[in-house]
Structure 1
Amino acid sequence: MNNIQTTRKTNFRWVICAMLFFATTVNYLDRQALSLTWKDFIAPEFHWTNTDYGNIAAAFSIMYAIANFFSGRIIDWLGTRRGYLWAIGVWSAGACLHALCGWATEQWVGLDDAAQLVGAAGDVAATVSMVSVWFFLAARVVLAAGESGNFPAAVKVTAEYFPKKDRAFATAIFNAGATIGALVAPLCIPTLARYFKDMGVGNGWEMAFVVIGMLGFVWMGIWIFIYQPMQTNKRVNAAEREYILQDSQDDAAADADSGRKLSILECLRLRQTWAILMGKFLTDGVWWFFLFWTPAYISDVYGYTSDSTMAQMLMFTLYAITMLSLYGGKLPTIFINRTGGNAYNCRMKAMFIFALFPLLGLVAQTLGAISCWLTICIIGIVGAAHQSWSANLFSVGSDLFPKKAVATITGINGMAGGLSSFLINFVSGRLLDHVEAAQTVFCGFQGKEAGYFIIFCYCSVAYIAGWLVMKLLVPRYMPVKA
């Protein structure tokens, strides 16, 4: 009996996976706080237009892209324990900094309180708008710099604690934190803002940023206590370690060949890097558009403010549907177990299936004439397909590259996603203001609805385009050996 007990493997890798899940949840709560408060709480105070918000979202995205170019390398250098602590510490501080933007604007413009900001007119209102945008830009830059470290660190931890066949599923679990964060955010953030506003604490939105931002510091305390490298972690027994290291011969061969870390420039010379980069660049903006603009879409098209029960239920339903992405992370494992094929080929087969579902987005807005719930459900399906696609795209990096380069390639991956988000947010704000002013008609939609439909069309075909580019660049399993 004692021998049986000693050979039964522990499952501490799933505790680590749970920590990655909660970090990603906090990441998305902090990221989405602005999108859920700007339209109904912040814009009236600072006189923002869609273009102003689009500029702020675009600035976050471009900083996220730039920081991702270096964050993977920094995580490889610091290691996952220290690197993760630095990342979440910086982004949590950035989240809390948003709360000071109103006060800073008052001081700069020379007004006494939020009521005077709201009541400003003419040149004063224009100054309030411009100054507040710059302060929010600064806070978003700090937030983006820290958040850029989340996925490189999480993917690196996954490569350390899981065998290749389980990595997409583990990635899907921690990546589901993005969905849970987006799911919980519409229920708690506008509610917190409304609660503190009714209490007379500022305009309400400030404390919502502070409360959400503090969650990251709580996570840091737990991470310090719980995380150790897998090889030296006393909570991982020999049986679990053997399971985790089942790919050790292949990894050892790759490491023996590399003997050093690949530089960023070396990575950029490889077609495998460009396959992952383009797969991310063509598709990531879709998720960021829905994340940053869906609350405004619900308000603009259906008239529900972000703190209304109907808007919260619509957003909750949308992100509840995206939870289907958990199965998306499991699908390649099913293909591997049934066919015995390599991880890359099975992953690409699964990603092609995921690329088909966003085509439903072409009819999402048309069906909204029947019921807004139909539109929201379709956006949820597109979101689930994206998260399934994204989880597998992260794992493609660990399939094709040696462990020493995983965080670096994930950082490059994140840079491409940030550039994609920058473009879609920069264009969306201007497009929506333009079509509203010109009352543009497109495919039966007019004004802002025409603008949203144009963006929906791109979102629908992006994944097929991304898959085709990846398949052309890396048609079969071609692991990198430095």
Structure 2
Amino acid sequence: MTSQPLSNYRWSICALLFFATTINYLDRQVLSLTWKDFIVPEFHWRNNDYGNITGIFSIVYAGSMLFAGRLVDWMDTKRGYLWSIGIWSVGACIHAYCGIATSGILTGNWFVGFEEAKEHIATVGDIAQVVSVSVTLFIFARIVLAIGEAGNFPAAIKATAEYFPKKDRGFATSIFNAGATVGALAAPLTIPFIAAAYGWEASFVIIGALGFVWMGFWIFMYKKPHEHPRVNAAELAYIQQDDVTDSEQVTTNPGGAVQRKKMSFAGAFRYRQTWAFAVGKFMTDGVWWFFLFWTPAYLSSVYNLDSTESAWHIFFLYALTLLSIIGGWLPTYFVDKQGMNPYAGRMKAMLIFAFFPLLTLFAQPLGHISVWIPVVIIGIAGAAHQAWSANIFSTIGDMFPRSSVATITGIGGMAGGVGAFLINKGSGVLFDYSVDTNLKFMGFEGIESGYFIIFSICAVSYLIGWVIMKSLVPHYAPITDID
């Protein structure tokens, strides 16, 4: 160790990860904040159509996560992140041209502006055709977005493992993961107003272009810690304090150089730790994605608030989720003050956070008093999710070698995406069924009964996930037997 003052460049990298995650969630939110008020009048979608689009996004995201993590481990962090955000930024921008493409396919008018495309689509007599073509085009754009966005978390978690020692990774992850909240906060205060002023197409282009700006910063600011001129010896020693441990598999080649063993993709499924992480993501990721994709529609369908009227409700909801930063600090407290190992500290914190989503059971019953009650409840549940998320991501670094972090993140992300597909697709079908049949359930009728059912599923998902995770990996068990 050295007496040299510690540089803090690792936090600059954390800031870059934060902004990338913010952009990631802004791009996801554009559709959810424009479809009801701006896109439905043009394309005549129903809840099920929107559910199909978001559901397919989720399942493609899931499948892409499975390979994105492996690709990031192969390409390494810098190139992997550049490819990821480049692809998803292109995907975000091409949503804007779905109207022109619909006009071209149905009327033969391809070389038109956004407003002219609307006029041509309005002349099409077959509404079913308009719905079918527009939904298909948005699904294509959403697929491109999903393929790119799948690389965000594997690359970010890998960068965190490279720049932070184990004891700090939970806190660093909670900070960059708060970018999801900030993106969700900024979205309702910007996207509906851009769409109202310049058209829904402009909101996709303007928000999508932010990713290309971030790429410039990443190219010039990111290098491995041991290669970076702004990381001094003291900071490098701090970062590498647990570099070679029982979970960091190393070998020495005949020339004397140290090489890290790499876990095979198929071999990753041999470990209970992999399945514990995957189950935790499967049970809970869909809850967050439901809040993200359906809250604007919920405020519109149940409380008759349009996208500009609900802007401050959604802003306040996601402002509450900033409390999730505590989620990164709490395990550090358990480790430093109670002497727990990092895994035990994280699991104890996650159990605490798993109880807060139970409040969503009361969102619909108390909503008749004021719309602000479900807004606050969803905000608290969202904060609990983000705190849970920061810690479940950090369990990967606790258990797995650094060379396998992105691969395991991808596997878990795939499981989470499958869970998100099920809840998004299921919600669309359930909500249309609730309206069409005036479904009655637990004293609620119509669309309100549908939302109460989904809220009830969200409420118990975390406790179920925690119990299964704890059953699979009851104690700290780092991987020590890579073949």
Q: Show structure 1 runs of 5+ residues with no match.
A: 197-203
Whether 1:246 and 2:247 are equivalent positions in the alignment is: no
**Which residue does 1:207 correspond to in 2?**
202
1:113 aligns with 2:99: no
Correspondence for 2:314: 315
Deviation sequence 1:300-346 (CA, Å, 0-9, x none): 011011122xx001000000000000011110001000122210011
Moved more, 37-46 or 16-25: 37-46
Deviation at 1:165, TM superposition (A): 0.5
- State the Cα distance separating 1:259 from its structure 2 match: 4.0
Contact 2:247 2:400 (C-alpha < 8 Å) held by counterparts = no
Does the 8 A contact of 2:280 with 2:466 survive in 1?
yes
Are residues 1:274 and 2:269 paired? no
Name the residue aligned to 1:341: 340
Q: Provide the residue aligned with 2:130 in structure 1.
A: 128
Residue 285 of structure 2 is aligned to residue 284 of structure 1:
yes
Identity of aligned residues (%): 58
Q: Is the CA contact 2:69–2:410 (under 8 Å) kept in the aligned structure 1?
A: yes
How far apart, in 1, do the equivalents of 2:244 and 2:457 lie? 43
Match of residue 37 from structure 1: 34
TM superposition score normalised by structure 1 = 0.95
In the other structure, the counterpart of 1:222 is 217
Matches within 5 A, 1:389-428: 389-428=388-427
Partners of 1:370 and 1:148 in 2: CA distance: 40
Task: Classify 1:332/1:114 alpha carbon distance in 2 versus 1 (closer, same or farther; 3 Å).
Answer: same
Structure 1 residues 134-145: aligned runs within 5 Å: 134-145=136-147
Q: Over residues 263-294 of structure 1, what are the superposed CA-to-partner deviations in whole Å (9 max), with x where a residue is unaligned?
A: 22111121110000000001110000000000
Write the distance in 1 (CA, Å) between the matches of 2:182 and 2:16: 14
Q: Structure 1 residues 251 and 20, CA, compared in 2 at 3 Å: closer, same or farther?
A: farther
- Out of 182, 185, 197, the residue aligned to residue 183 of structure 1 is 185
Letter in 2 for 1:161: Y
Q: Which AA in structure 1 matches 2:22?
A: T
Contact 1:92 1:217 in 2 (8 A): yes
CA contact (8 A) 1:251 1:403 kept: no
- The residue type equivalent to 1:321 in the other structure is L
Number of aligned residue pairs: give it: 467
**SS of alignment partner, residue 14 of structure 1:** helix
Distance 2:360 2:218 in 1: 39
The amino acid of 1:360's aligned partner reads: L
1:417-465: CA deviations, max 9, x gaps? 1111111111010000001000011111110110000000000000000
Aligned residue type for 1:156: K
Unaligned runs of 5+ in 2: 110-115, 253-258
8 Å Cα contact 1:400/1:479 also seen in 2 = yes
CA distance in 1, matches of 2:340, 2:311: 43
CA contact under 8 A between 2:174 and 2:324: conserved in structure 1? Answer: yes
Match of 1:200 in 2: none
CA separation in 2, counterparts of 1:170 and 1:467?
22
Structure 2 CA distance, aligned partners of 1:150 and 1:55?
23
Distance 2:210 2:244 in 1: 40
Aligned to 2:255: none
- Once residues 29 and 7 of structure 1 are traced to their aligned partners in structure 2, the CA distance between those partners, rounded to angstroms, is 40
TM-score of the two chains, using structure 2 as the length reference: 0.95
Counterpart of 2:73 in structure 1 is 76
1:120 positional shift: 4.5
Question: Against the structure 1 CA distance between its residues 81 and 304, is the aligned structure 2 distance closer, same or farther, given a 3 Å change threshold?
Answer: same
Match status 1:367 vs 2:361: no
For 1:341 and 1:145, locate their aligned partners in 2 and report how far apart those are by CA, in whole Å. Answer: 38
- Cα distance in 2, alignment partners of residues 256 and 175 from structure 1: 34
* Deviates further, 247-256 or 174-183: 247-256
Give the superposition deviation at 1:118.
4.2
The AA in structure 1 aligned to 2:177 is N
Please provide the CA RMSD for this pair. 1.4
Q: Identify the residue that residue 57 of structure 1 maps to in structure 2.
A: 54
Shift of 1:116: 4.2
Amino acid at match of 2:59: I
Shift in CA distance, 252/385, structure 1 to aligned 2, threshold 3 Å: closer
Change in Cα spacing, 1:49 to 1:119, as seen in structure 2 (3 Å) is farther
Structure-1 residue corresponding to 2:150: 148
Q: Distance in 1 between matches of 2:280 and 2:248?
A: 28
Which segment drifts farther, 107-116 or 38-47? Answer: 107-116
Secondary structure of the residue that 1:248 maps to in structure 2? coil
Q: Distance in 2 between matches of 1:60 and 1:154?
A: 21
Q: Which one of 194, 197, 211 corresponds to residue 196 of structure 2?
A: 194
SS in structure 2 opposite 1:108? helix
Tell whether the 8 Å contact from 2:26 to 2:187 is kept in structure 1 after alignment.
Answer: yes
User: Higher helix proportion, which one?
Assistant: 1
AA at the equivalent of 1:97: I
| Residues 21-69 of structure 1, C-alpha deviations (whole Å, 9 max, x = no match) | 0000000000111011011111110010100000000110011001000
String of CA shifts for 1:372-418, please: whole Å, max 9, x gaps: 10110000000000000001010011111010110000011110111
Relative to structure 1, the CA distance from residue 474 to residue 98 in structure 2 (aligned partners, 3 Å threshold; closer, same or farther) is same
**3-state SS of the aligned residue for 2:244?**
helix
Distance 1:192 1:227 in 2: 32
Query: Is the 1:255–1:402 contact (alpha carbons within 8 Å) kept by the matching residues of 2?
Result: no
Given the superposition, is the C-alpha separation of residues 251 and 271 from structure 1 closer, same or farther in structure 2, using an over 3 Å criterion? closer
Find the counterpart in structure 1 of residue 12 from structure 2.
15
Distance across 1 between alignment mates of 2:57 and 2:458: 20
Tell me, in whole angstroms, the C-alpha distance in 2 between the residues paired with 1:53 and 1:253.
45
Asked whether 1:461 is paired with 2:456, we answer no
Match of 2:231 among 236, 251, 257: 236
Residues 248 and 400, structure 2, Cα contact 8 Å, conserved in 1: no
In 2, the alpha carbon distance for the partners of 1:253 and 1:36 equals 44
Give distance in 1, aligned partners of 2:250 and 2:96: 46
Q: Tell me if the contact between 2:106 and 2:121 (Cα under 8 Å) persists in the aligned partners.
A: no
Is the CA contact (8 Å cut-off) linking 1:159 and 1:167 kept in structure 2?
yes
Identify if the C-alpha distance between structure 1 residues 120 and 307 changes in structure 2 by more than 3 Å, giving closer, same or farther. farther
Q: 1:162 corresponds to which residue? A: 164
1:47 and 1:118 in contact (8 A); partners too: no
Aligned residues of 2:334 and 2:345 also touching (Cα < 8 A): yes
Aligned to 1:249, what secondary structure does the other structure show?
A: coil
Match of 1:100 in 2: 97
1:248, distance to aligned residue in structure 2 (A): 2.1
Q: What's the secondary structure of 1:7's corresponding residue? A: coil
> In the alignment, which residue of structure 1 is the partner of 2:264?
263
Give the letter aligned to residue 261 of structure 2: R
Amino acid paired to 2:62: A
